[in-house]
Chains A and B, each alone.
Chain A
Amino acid sequence: MLSGRKSTIWVLPESLEPDPLIADIGEVFPTVIEQVQTTLRTWFDTFDWRLYQRGFYLYYDGVDWNLLKKESEDVVASHTTKVASGTYFAWDFPASRIRSILEPILEMRRLLPLVVHDSSATCLRILNKDEKTVVQVFLEEHKLTDHKSVLRTVRLQNVRGYEKNFRELSRFLGNYGIRQKADLFYPFTKGVELGGRQPLDYTSRFDISLKPEFSARSAMIVIYRQLLDTMQRNESGVLDDLDSEFLHDFRVAIRRTRSGLGQVKKVLSKGITDRAKKDFAWLGSITGPTRDLDVYLLYEKNYRPRLPDGLQGGLDIFFADISERRIIARRKLVQHMQSGKYNQILSTWHDHLYSETENEEAENSGIPVVDLSRDIISQKYRKIIKDGKAITLSSPDEHLHRLRIECKKLRYILEFFSSLFPQKDMKQVIKLLKRLQNNLGEFNDLSVQQDMLRNYHTTLRPGSRKNQDLAASLGGLLTNLYHEQQKVRSGFALRFSEFSADGNALLYKKLFDLKT
């Protein structure tokens, strides 16, 4: 490895004022002082930290977008472009290296400006007797624009071949108590923290830690609280329509809650459960239409390559129309979410989950959660095996859909209670279920799409040239999707045989006391 540029950054202790330090350095070392230009940096990541998770940092300085890798602190891709303010999806970047890296990572998520700071620096060039610069000291100041705080760092920059002077300065700074190392990303990480967040503080995965001795009631309360928290954290992203994942995660939390209410029975009192079931069904219904249209819009990328050039025009019309419908659906959704009813539902639920008193006991609320969870999981497993075995190639589609829903229920329950069982085993259990679910999900997805296109088709009035184009494109798509669905269906038998295999059954026996 050839020796190159090397720099070390420390946090300047709050007790140390920069000016006296500069004066002290100037007294000991021959120094030239220069001001470094101010730069404004905006750091970006998605709500669920997709860049951070993969060791990337991204900032925009008004001219360039720079993508840096954490370990090397090196810019891996840079692009000079203005992206229209507020539209920070990967596809908003012009074709470039930075876009090709961002696209698979961000997918449909929007980049959010998380930290903005104005940085300026005083540079001290330390000279030798030939008045040659042998090391540079930068006293940097980062003004966070949102929080009115100022972060200060000291950076020492080596000059190749003058390492002795670098070490000398580093010792000198050490004498001032400048020892806490920082990195290039310090203004970002510290800024995030001051903004009340932490890197990786949100993930759409359900991750909760329960103890086997928890009562069913306290376990479910912990689970429902976390799901409510997820809803609340996604709420503003839904209202501001930042990207489609906010609504998606919001709805998944609703579905998980409903699944809990329906499957983990008699843990909360009947009154509360009945009411919550009704309320969450309503929440599901008001968020559904927008989500459906989101899904159709996300299909665009998938549909384009299915049709020849001649039929692409019809697709343009179709997606333009879907976008318009979405505007209307969203308007309704926002109205609902700002209504008294909505607020009432969430606050009532919140109060139930956080009230200290357990005034209304229910039949199962006191039994250990681990016992209850075993029962529910075994029961669901048996049902899936029974229903799945009855499915043949000639069964109606409806049977596959029902099985899909049962599998989904099992999946939610497994995820709720996963922390109660050995992790390695749970991984295997979930893996096999997931493979079956993928097959059923894909099958369902393709039926939903065909239904949607068929319904859409029936609303078209014949006659106009535009509608003819549209109908032709829809017809092409329908054929294509149908063939694909047939293929997926033929894969079901294999996936189900894996799931129902003896090995998996033994695992369920061992973990959940399954009785066959």
Chain B
Amino acid sequence: MSVIAVYHIKGGVGKTATAVNLSYLSAAGGEKTLLCDMDPQGSTTFYFRIRPVEKFNTRKLLKGGKHIDRSIRGTDFPGLDLLPADFSYRNIDIALDDMKKSRQRISRILKPLRKEYDQIFLDCPPNITLLSENIFYAADHILVPLIPTTLSYLALQQLYRFLDEIEESRSKVIVFFSMVEKRKKMHWEIMRQLIKKKGFVPALIPYLADVEKMGLYRQPVNVAFPHSMAAAAYRSLWTEVSKRIGGE
């Protein structure tokens, strides 16, 4: 059982696509999986054709227990459930700040769910906030999609420094290359330099139209286009990530 947070400081790096596709593959592999959409934008929720749950909001989320239990929705795929996002999450930091032990709130909320599910994915909003701190504390692994550019790498450094600051282990971080463009020489160059660094897994997700089209089909790529390159890429990413998780 592990909690995997899919995280990046910046938006638009393929974070939600990763959370959706990997959680699907996890469930398809027979593990009971919960995906928590923590991003107020609710893209993950939208991808699964699920509506935000009435009467569920930041306050209820932070109360946890039956409030969460009632709000979990089954997806169309066996073994995969979703905790939908709510727009009120945009103010979640303010709510967290008012609480005692505000860093450990999310971890406490997840505790009963760890018993019910084999795998929990958290799709996190960008930025470094009190919520991120909560998530880093709660997660067993932080999965970071990295576009192979200099700026992205600098952002990763920033994450490491932040983890040092809050005394979380850097070893929680698992990095893979995302939105890789084959024709860009710079992408290959940067990947060549980074791949041997600690925390990187040898799997990459190319920049592909099929991934972009997820918004249109509202299904994981492994369901909509199971024979596509994109589907194959996510499968091998999940294989690598599972290996890393299992190897502890």
* A interface residues (Cβ-Cβ under 8 A, vs B): 2-5, 125, 130-133, 158-162
Contacts and interface: CB of A to CB of B under 8 A. Distances in A.
A161 B73 contact: yes
Contact of A161 (B49, B71, B112): B71
Nearest to A131: B49
B76 A125 contact: yes
Contacts of A4: 116
A161 B72 contact: yes
B116 A132 contact: no
A132 B81 contact: no
Interface string B32-56: 0000000000000000111101000
Contacts of A125: 76
Given A2-B116, A160-B81, A132 B72 contact: no
Given A2-B116, A160-B81, A130 B49 contact: yes
A133 B69 contact: no
Listed residue (B74, B81, B116) with the most chain A CB atoms within 10 angstroms of its CB: B74
Contact of B74 (A130, A131, A162): A162
Contacts of A133: 76
A70 to B, nearest CB: 23
A132 B69 CA distance: 20
Contact of A160 (B49, B51, B72, B112): B72
A416 to B, nearest CB: 55
Given A130-B51, A131-B49, A160 B76 contact: no
A130 B75 CA distance: 12
Given A2-B116, A3-B69, A159 B74 contact: yes
B73 A162 contact: yes
21 contacts: A2-B69, A4-B116, A125-B76, A130-B49, A131-B218, A132-B49, A133-B76, A158-B74, A159-B73, A159-B74, A159-B76, A160-B72, A160-B73, A160-B81, A161-B53, A161-B70, A161-B71, A161-B72, A161-B74, A162-B73, A162-B74
Nearest to A5: B74
A131 B47 CA distance: 12
Nearest to A128: B49
Nearest to B69: A2
Nearest to B32: A4
Interface string B61-100: 0000000011111101000010000000000000000000
B76 A132 contact: yes
Listed residue (A2, A3, A158, A159) with the most chain B CB atoms within 10 angstroms of its CB: A2
Nearest to B76: A133
A131 B49 CA distance: 7
Nearest to A32: B76
A5 B70 CA distance: 13
A393 B212 CA distance: 92
Listed residue (A3, A5, A160, A162) with the most chain B CB atoms within 10 angstroms of its CB: A160
Nearest to B73: A161
Listed residue (B49, B50, B112) with the most chain A CB atoms within 10 angstroms of its CB: B49
A160 B116 contact: no
Listed residue (B53, B71, B73) with the most chain A CB atoms within 10 angstroms of its CB: B73
Listed residue (A4, A131, A160, A161) with the most chain B CB atoms within 10 angstroms of its CB: A161
A4 B50 CA distance: 17
Contacts of A5: 74
A31 to B, nearest CB: 14
B113 to A, nearest CB: 8
Contacts of B76: 125, 132-133, 159
Contacts of A2: 69, 112, 116
Contacts of B72: 160-161
Contacts of A158: 74
Interface string B99-114: 0000000000000100
A2 B48 CA distance: 22
The 10 closest A-B pairs by CB, nearest first: A160-B74, A132-B49, A161-B73, A159-B74, A133-B76, A130-B49, A2-B116, A2-B69, A160-B81, A160-B72
Contacts of B81: 160
Contacts of A132: 48-50, 76
Contacts of B53: 161
Nearest to A130: B49
Interface in B198-229: 218
Nearest to A158: B74
Contacts of A130: 49-51
A161 B34 CA distance: 14
